[in-house]
Amino acid sequence: MALLRIRGIEKRFGGLRAVDGVGMDIAEGELLGLIGPNGSGKTTLLNVLSGHMRADAGEVSLDGRNVLGLNPTRLTRLGVLRMFQMTRVFNRITAFDNLIVCGMALGLKEAEAGERATELLAELKLSHVMHLDGGQLSGGQKKLLEFGACFMVPPRVALLDEPFAAVHPTMKETMATFIRNRNAQGQTFILVSHDMPVVVELCPRSVCMNTGKVLADGPTQEVLNDRAVIEAYLGENADAGHEEDADA
Ligand SMILES: Nc1ncnc2c1ncn2[C@@H]1O[C@H](COP(=O)(O)OP(=O)(O)O)[C@@H](O)[C@H]1O
Ligand SMILES: [Mg+2]
Verify whether ligand 1 is closer than 6 Å to residue 44 (CB atom). yes
Cα 245 to middle of ligand 1, angstroms: 10
Q: What are the pLDDT tens digits along the chain (248 aa)?
A: 899 999 999 999 999 999 999 999 999 999 999 999 999 999 999 999 999 999 999 999 999 999 999 999 899 889 998 876 556 789 999 999 999 998 998 899 999 999 999 999 999 999 999 999 999 999 889 989 989 999 999 999 999 999 888 888 999 999 999 999 999 999 999 999 999 999 999 999 999 999 999 999 999 999 999 999 999 998 876 655 444 444 44
Among 10, 17, 44, 56, residue to substitute to test ligand 1 (most atoms within 8 Å of Cβ): 44
* Contacts for 153 with CB less than 8 Å, ≥ 6 apart: 103, 106, 107, 108
Angle between helices 139-149 and 95-105 (to 10 degrees): 20
Cα 217 to middle of ligand 1, angstroms: 21
Q: Which long-range contacts (CB under 8 A, 24 or more apart) does 97-104 make?
A: 98/134, 98/145, 98/149, 99/145, 99/148, 99/149, 99/152, 102/149, 102/152, 103/152, 103/153
Cα 38 to middle of ligand 1, angstroms: 9
Verify whether ligand 1 is closer than 6 Å to residue 112 (CB atom). no
Cα 142 to middle of ligand 1, angstroms: 25
Angstrom distance (rounded) from CA 247 to CA 95: 28
Angstrom distance (rounded) from CA 98 to CA 95: 5
**Domain residue limits, the chain:** 4-85+156-238
What pLDDT score was predicted for residue 87?
A: 62
pLDDT in tens, 218-231: 999 999 999 999 99
CB 193 within 8 A of CB 224: no
CATH of domain 4-85+156-238: 3.40.50.300
Please give the full DSSP string across 160-214, using - where no structure is assigned. Answer: EESTTTT--HHHHHHHHHHHHHHHHTT-EEEEE-S-HHHHHHH-SEEEEEETTEE
How big, in percent rounded to 5, are the helix, strand and coil portions of the chain? 40, 25, 35
pLDDT in tens, 39-76: 999 999 999 999 999 999 999 999 999 999 999 989 98
Ligand 1 atom closest to the CA of 212, numbered from 1: 14
Verify whether ligand 1 is closer than 6 Å to residue 41 (CB atom). yes
Cα 47 to middle of ligand 2, angstroms: 10
pTM of the full structure = 0.90
